[in-house]
Amino acid sequence: MASVYDRHVDLNQFMEGVKKRNPGQTEFIQAVQEVAQDIYEFIEDKEEYHEAQILRRIAEPDRVVSFRVCWEDDNHNIRVQRGFRIQNNNAIGPYKGGIRFHPSVNESVLKFLAFEQTFKNSLTGLPMGGGKGGANFNPRGKSDAEVMRFCQSFMTELYRHIGPDTDVPAGDIGVGGREIGYMFGQYKRITNRWEGVLTGKGQEYGGSQMRPEATGYGAVYFLQNMLKHKGEDVEGKTAVISGSGNVATHAAEMITKLGGKVLTLSDSGGFIHDPDGIDQEKIDWIKHLKNVKRGRISEYVDEFKSAEYHEDARPWSVKCDLALPCATQNELSADEAKALVDNGVQGVSEGANMPTTLEGVKVFHDAKIMYGPGKAANAGGVAVSGLEMSQNSERISWNHERLGEMLTDLMKGIHEKCVEYGDNGDGYVDYVKGANIAGFKKVADAMLAFGVV
Ligand code: NDP
């Protein structure tokens, strides 16, 4: 009997379906739109992907786990938060992706992150599927004891959904070494198993060297590869960076090491502009401020008089050669992209996930700026997490130097894959298209091999 099911919906019909099935999930819809427009072009004449409804299946998470997290604050109030783990796709390896603790966390944000993670992990060439998790918990202003109680409560539910061959979470916004330690301790206590179930662990208990640096360094290596492709270099160039957390401070560190000058860093309160440059000594001071004192970036100007603090503002109006958004999603609008282009920016490398809006990305493309999207540019973090998994399984640890070389090679490989699928033939590389297609193809081909599952 002939089928009446239409396998060949066009992009608009496909996106209408995504919107209908995910009402109000704006971040997720934005992420799917960005990928689907490139994939549609790629699969146009490839019947097998249409037949198997691959894109439709990738845009539907394997599993969305949502749970209550109760904990007691220092004043003995009982607090209730919502925790999640999104297991998006495990076609090419165990689910892998960070845990985010931030008040803005909801299902849409985590679904977008898990979706993006699937392509990013595929691009690394390592066997990792895509996932993401978190809770609408704000660690800012909480005591260590409160953070510990929250992490323990969170893991008391999460542990049953994860495992070293099932799903291996890591850190993300609001989840650093302290939080990973508390969660790993609780997992070990509940299961009585020491296994590589989380990455980003402390070096004393199975963490990989180079993991803290990997995302920020990797984003700069990706930028370096883009520049090299055009016969350029980081040396002597000025850089504007947003954020002042793990990714931003390590991106700043590598720009400085390569002879560039970092002009800005920020947090959700505003940004600092230091025309003298934020050198290694100042970066070390910021790391201590953020990780130990848990202070705010505004305090920088009290310590370094050459700098100005701009409250409630983002740094994109500062003239620069290079821009690295390293804070959060949708932190760089079309107008801000225009300001960067008008000020002569040459390259943009995203340390954060989806920091540039769809309209902002269009501005960069129209101006033919070298633009490295997060799923390629910030993949160094998850790549070294993949190496942490390997080291844990083998019960070995590689040294800093070896891991540094592996990270450099991985970022070079990701850049090459993006060029393979994104070279427009006119000298311009569309890195978004390259990353989307290269990331998609491996996952899609694995899914085809499994049949209808
Ligand atoms: P951190 O928590 O260490 O730092 C986050 C930084 O971004 C802080 O300076 C924070 O400021 C700022 N920030 C957070 N939310 C906002 C907001 N709404 N507006 C302005 N600033 C904000 O996180 P990471 O450095 O780990 O993560 C940063 C980005 O990089 C995220 O997009 C994350 O998904 C991505 N990423 C991280 C990886 C990793 O290995 N850690 C791997 C790949 C991607 P404040 O203190 O005021 O909140």
Tell how far the Cα of 219 is from the centroid of ligand 1, in angstroms: 14
Q: What is the pLDDT of residues 263-309, one digit of tens each?
A: 999 999 999 999 999 999 999 999 999 999 999 999 999 999 999 99
Query: Ligand 1, closest atom to CA 327?
Result: 7
Which residue among 213, 222, 241, 246 has the greatest number of ligand 1 atoms within 8 angstroms of its CB, and so is best to mutate? 246
Q: What is the pLDDT of residues 219-237, one digit of tens each?
A: 999 999 999 999 999 999 9
Query: Which tens digit of pLDDT belongs to each residue from 95-138?
Result: 999 999 999 999 999 999 999 999 999 999 999 999 999 999 99
C-alpha–C-alpha distance, residues 351 and 241, integer Å:
9
DSSP letters of 230-294? TT--STT-EEEE---SHHHHHHHHHHHHTT-EEEEEEETTEEEE-TT---HHHHHHHHHHHHTS-
With contact defined as beta carbons under 8 Å apart, do 359 and 332 qualify? no
| Better-predicted residue by pLDDT, 259 or 10 | 259
Catalytic residue among 132, 261, 287, 441: 132
Q: Which domains does the chain have, with CATH numbers?
A: 8-58 (no CATH), 63-195 (3.40.50.10860), 213-377 (3.40.50.720)
328, 331, 349, best to mutate for ligand 1 pocket (most atoms within 8 Å of CB): 328
Q: How far is the CA of 174 from the centre of ligand 1 (A)?
A: 7
Arithmetic mean of pLDDT, 416-420:
98
Cβ–ligand 1 distance for 133 under 6 Å, the answer: no
Q: How far is CA 208 from the centre of its chain?
A: 18
Distance from C-alpha of 107 to C-alpha of 115, rounded to nearest angstrom: 12
Q: Looking at residues 144-162, what average pLDDT do you find?
A: 98
Whether 328 is in the pocket of ligand 1, judged by its Cβ within 6 Å, is yes
The answer, yes or no, to whether any atom of ligand 1 lies below 6 A from the CB of 349, is no
Contact (CB, 8 A) for 360 and 352: no
Nearest to 225 by CA among 407, 357, 352: 407
Predicted pLDDT at 3: 53
- Mean pLDDT value of segment 388-406: 97
Q: Indicate whether residue 181 lines ligand 1 (CB < 6 A).
A: no
Gap between the Cα atoms of 386 and 391, Å rounded = 9
Whether residue 322 contacts residue 239, with contact meaning beta carbons closer than 8 Å, is answered with: yes
CA distance 28 to 50: 22
**Does residue 201 have an active-site annotation?**
no
**Closest to 450 in 3D by CA, of 28, 37, 89:** 89
Q: Is the CB of 173 under 6 A from ligand 1?
A: yes
